[in-house]
Amino acid sequence: MSKKLIYSLFFIGLVSLNSCTEDFEELNTNPFQITDESLKQNFNHIGAYFPSMLQPIIGHQIEHNLANDSYARHLATPTPFIGGINNTTYVPSWNNPYWNNVYSKIMAPARQVIEIAEADGYDMFVQWAKLIQIIATSRLTAYHGPLIYSNYGTQGDVEYDSEETLYNTWFSELDAIVSTFSANSSYSGFNDFDASYGGSVPHWIKLANSLRLQLAIRISKAAPALAKTQGEKAINDAGGLITTNSENFMLSLYGRPFQESIICFSWNDTRMSASMESILGGYDDSRAGKYFAPVADASLVADHSAFPYKGIRNGAYLLAKDDHLPYSTISTDFKSVSERKVLDAAEVHLMLAEANLRGWSTPLSAQAHYEAGVTQSFAYWGAGGVTTYLANNTGTPLDYDDVVETGDVNDFTSRITATVAWNEAGTNEEKLEKIITQKWIAAYTNSIEAWVDHRRTGYPKLPYNYQNSSKADTGIIAADDFLYRHLFPLNEQTNNATGYAGAVQKLGGEDKISTPLWWDVAGSNF
């Protein structure tokens, strides 16, 4: 056979093969298969990320029972973990979980969403992902200070942003978020992925503005001019703020149990705090029954029998777990809740009350916002008697007696002399104490901002730790002082050494629990 004939036959074979296979993909495609293009039609290729990004904002046991709940003094542990030498007694332990959750479960998928959404031209999803990033990292910075943010995703050692840079970056990003959302207020692309607001863009605008106000209030002592500018921008935006409970930012638990319910009822590792007993009892606050369960043993509350709730002092000396288990659990209603609040109307009104004291332009007077904040909190919890409560100008927090310990172990005399009723003739410091004390009460189940407020203002005047095990290598906390921050995670020190060194420099002090954060400015609040 000639070479010419062989080449001809080979060519014919190729043509035939191509003819047979050119329709292969079409003929062998499953008509029921979900394609990339079909996913785009419903935004599932980016929207499906959002529930999994939102849920970790809430945190886990470490952030609650063994960190901010304890530091804010909302809840306390009856458990002497590792001999009482742990976070609750100022020995840093378990510092990595929330950091890891924010970066792995929020920042990482958000970055992916932003890249995909930018490529596909879905700017609303870009801005929604950025808003979730701000919510999460603004909480994380309250633990540690400087963070990896603008350089997140770069290779090698990663530079941290200073706290001042973070807040300026967030304010700038909120500008773009609010602008984009406002121009697309009827957008329906979020509907299938938004368990908080059902896809309502106007509600997300209110949240963005309220978040801006929260961040502005937080830095009001460190950068008063910037805080006022940003706070008034939030207040004056046409999209408004969260001012009624129907607008509260609630996070779905996505079928999971309320975390503190597990800690309390399954593990027996948390109880009412002595600070809650002292403040709620002294103010005859009807929210107590919504927050906690009464004790079964009347002898535990013999010194205030009309208020049947008993708490544990934070930083208490604990000899044995069983000793304090009869103290008040959280309310059993928490066993069945399906969501939890992150930013609500009560907090916004109380922030506006403080803003008014600071000379910012606000819709109402300081007193009107103060009373509206308390009223919204009572309504949210379904508690009665708010009118009588707001008129109480005699009740003050109770002194505390740990009745299962001998002598004065864990006992304290309340440092709070403020009453509930507004006193227009009082000083700004006196008014601020009322505002922050009520903000602290209303913040129950969302204690991170209560811990922030306590550090930046000194209010409420909470009891100090009975057991203070702080040490020089991680930071000494004075007997009449409180923990200021958490250490940076150990893995950052080992895996991002250059970035970590820069973070410590930007912190403005040693990487210790005794180093105040940027916005935590000592001295008078005014």
Question: pTM for the full model?
Answer: 0.92
Q: What was the pLDDT predicted at 26?
A: 47
Q: How far apart are CA 481 and CA 495, in angstroms?
A: 33
pLDDT digits (tens, 9 = 90+) for 148-164: 999 999 999 999 999 99
Contact 398, 304 (CB under 8 A): yes
pLDDT digits (tens, 9 = 90+) for 91-142: 998 778 889 999 999 999 999 999 999 999 999 999 999 999 999 999 999 9
Report the run of H or E that residue 340 belongs to, with start and end. Answer: strand 339-343
Per-residue pLDDT of the chain (526 residues), as tens digits, is 443 333 333 333 433 444 444 444 444 444 444 455 655 668 999 999 999 999 889 877 777 778 889 999 999 999 888 888 889 999 998 778 889 999 999 999 999 999 999 999 999 999 999 999 999 999 999 999 999 999 999 999 999 999 999 999 999 999 999 999 999 999 999 999 999 999 999 999 999 999 999 999 999 999 999 999 999 999 999 999 999 999 999 999 989 899 899 999 999 999 999 999 999 999 999 999 999 999 999 999 999 999 999 999 999 999 887 899 999 999 999 999 999 999 999 999 999 999 999 999 999 999 999 999 999 999 999 999 999 999 999 999 999 999 999 999 999 999 999 999 999 999 999 999 999 999 999 999 999 999 999 999 999 999 999 999 999 999 999 999 999 999 999 999 999 999 999 999 999 999 999 999 999 999 999 9
Determine how many CB atoms are found less than 10 A away from the CB of residue 396. 16
∠ CA 495-68-148, nearest 5°, is 30
Q: How far apart are CA 324 and CA 237, in angstroms?
A: 49
What angle, 0 to 180 degrees and rounded to 10, lies between the N-to-C axes of helices 123-144 and 201-218? Answer: 30
Contact 357, 367 (CB under 8 A): no
Boundaries of every domain in the chain: 43-242+479-495+497-507, 259-341+380-457
Q: What was the pLDDT predicted at 36?
A: 56
Range 301-307, long-range pairs (CB < 8 A, 24+ positions): 302/403, 303/398, 303/401, 304/398, 307/277, 307/280, 307/281, 307/398
Q: How far apart are CA 378 and CA 396, in angstroms?
A: 19
Determine how many CB atoms are found less than 10 A away from the CB of residue 304. 16
Sequence-ordered list of residues with C-beta below 8 angstroms from that of 219, at least 6 positions apart, any chain:
167, 226, 227, 518, 519
Bond from prior residue into 56 cis (ω within 30 degrees of 0): no
The fold of 43-242+479-495+497-507 is: 1.25.40
DSSP letter at 269 equals -
DSSP letter at 436 equals H
Q: What was the pLDDT predicted at 38?
A: 52
How far is CA 49 from each of CA 56, 200, 265, 340, rounded to the nearest angstrom? 12, 18, 31, 20
Residue type, 331: S
Q: How far apart are CA 129 and CA 107, in angstroms?
A: 9
Q: How far apart are CA 213 and CA 220, in angstroms?
A: 10
Strand partners, 273: 312
Comparing CA positions, the residue from 318, 265, 258 lying closest to residue 293 is 265
Strand partners, 400: 412
Tokens describing residue 127: 């801005």
Q: How far apart are CA 411 and CA 463, in angstroms?
A: 10
Three-state DSSP state, 362: coil
